[in-house]
Amino acid sequence: MLPLTRHLDRLAELRPRLLAVSLGGASGNLAALGHKGLAVEARLAARLKLTTLALPWHTARDTILELGSLLALITGSLGKMGQDVVLLAQNEIGEVSLAGAGGSSTMPNKANPVAAEVLIALARSTGGLAGVLNQAALAEQERSGAAWLIEQLHLPDMLLQTGAALATAAELVAGLSVNEVAMRATFEAAQGLMLAEAASFALADHMPRSAAQALVKTACAEALASGQNLIDVLRSQTSAQIDWDSLKDPARHMGAADELIDRALEALRRG
């Protein structure tokens, strides 16, 4: 969720550039308004609660394109979340489950992660449209009907898709459940290979680091071939005085996870 707080920051930074008055007249220099041109622009901006930029932005579409990029970033972050949920919700993994998941017409055991799949599709669509929208930067001189048409064709869809993605993500998160037992089973099924780095560092206290890494690499290959746990393989291959049972415990390898979670939650609260 932290990317969304950064997107809120980006939106706040974009707002004064995006919500800016554009008043330049036929030639962009306010000539028709005489010496009162800038005063009229300022009054109009104040009346509409918009900002003023250094120059009229009739064909300077960079801020519109910045908005399009932000929409692609938002849907992309939500789509990444959806992609992870799809993978974790697979029957053979089952680390998360979803309320209101879609069923299958022929397979009663299936609970299709429809909301997560929607997030992925919206992210891919909005990201693709953002690339097309960037073509609106190619505006001829002081007017380009073609460039504006590109914006009119794609920007409304991007806004609608981003809104749909946000609503879908809120629904998805509200119905998301975590299966800790399945998570532990996934770890156990990995045969201890996730602990290869920890094992290398533990062995490096008893031998040169390069030798420790080579030993662990060989042990990983044997663990995969034999179906044994990596730590058990290493235990049999070295006389190094290491508390192998303690090293095998995943709870020992959480690092700064708790502190990082607290820091992330604090950032969300501030956001």
Give the active site residues.
104, 143
> Which residues, 6 or more positions from 270, have their beta carbon under 8 angstroms from its beta carbon?
5
Could you tell me if residue 144 is left (phi over 0), alpha (psi between -120 and 50 degrees) or otherwise beta?
Answer: beta
Q: Which residues pair with 178 in a beta bridge?
A: 96
Give the HSE-up count for residue 170: Cα atoms under 13 Å, Cβ half-sphere: 5
Minimal CA–CA distance to 177: which of 109, 94, 80?
94
Q: Which amino acid is at 70?
A: L
Q: How far apart are CA 48 and CA 146, in angstroms?
A: 28
Residues 209-235, buried b or exposed e (16+ Cβ, 10 A)?
Answer: eeebbebbeebbeebeeeebbbbbbbb
Taking the C-alpha atoms of 81, 82, 88 and 91 in order, what is their torsion angle to the nearest 10 degrees? 170
